[in-house]
Amino acid sequence: MKPERPCALVTGGNRGIGRAIAEGLIAQGHRVVIGVRDLEAGRAVAEEIGADAIRLDVARYDDDALSAAIAPLRGVDVLVNNAGVLIENSIIDDASGFKASMDVMFLGPYALIRAVAPHMRAQGWGRIVNVSSGWGSFAQGLGGPGAYGIAKAALNALTRTLPRDLPEGVKVNAMDPGWVRTRMGGEAATRSPEEGAETAIWLATLPDDGPTGGFFRDRSPIDW
């Protein structure tokens, strides 16, 4: 059953698309917690937008550490895996950069999903949103730096597969925010953070008959 005021955890929620998602969910009546590596800076942002903040480094995905980090929340109803890194080095020459990309954008999100799934399963309701990219789409050619595209493609594969192991009331979807004016996207990008966040907010607030296991941009399905 959907909680009266769902608790939403947004990783990397202190700036850019993550902050816009957090603000959008607050406007929808959610209790929002942003997961950040720098807790002092995260608390300052959280105070500005009316959220809470916890220290959460998704690259450190030890099960016990993650469970301890989210334990004070008393259950996460909505998880938005937004944290990301863009490492432009060759995947042949920079194995550490490849590993960091996979840790932050695939293995960390997977571990967080495992951490929140028991609560969602117990209540028969939950929403998981994986912030992906067109660069993680085989249909679009896996563009961009190799490590980034591979990590996002793996996140897409996880999204596609997870509905087999989640109860019907728990929905998981991926989304492509487009080219967004953030520290990662740059000032020349064509979309604002709010425009990039809009589909994630929609997926986080899907009704019971909404989709699961899909990949979306501007609320419309796109090819994997």
Domains in the chain, CATH or no CATH each? 7-221 (3.40.50.720)
Asked if pLDDT for residue 179 goes beyond 80, the answer is no
Report, as an integer, the average pLDDT of 80-102: 96
Q: Taking the mean position of all CA atoms in its chain, how far away is CA 124?
A: 21
Maximum Cα–Cα distance for the chain, whole Å? 50
pTM, two decimal places: 0.95
pLDDT number for residue 36: 95
pLDDT number for residue 63: 79
Task: Identify which of 223, 197, 207 has the alpha carbon closest to the alpha carbon of residue 134.
Answer: 223
Task: Identify which of 21, 14, 1, 5 has the alpha carbon closest to the alpha carbon of residue 193.
Answer: 21
Q: What integer best gives the mean pLDDT of the chain? A: 94
Cα 181 to Cα 148: distance, rounded to the nearest angstrom:
18
Report, as an integer, the average pLDDT of 31-35: 98
Catalytic residues, by residue number, are 148
pLDDT number for residue 185: 63
Cα 86 to Cα 108: distance, rounded to the nearest angstrom:
15
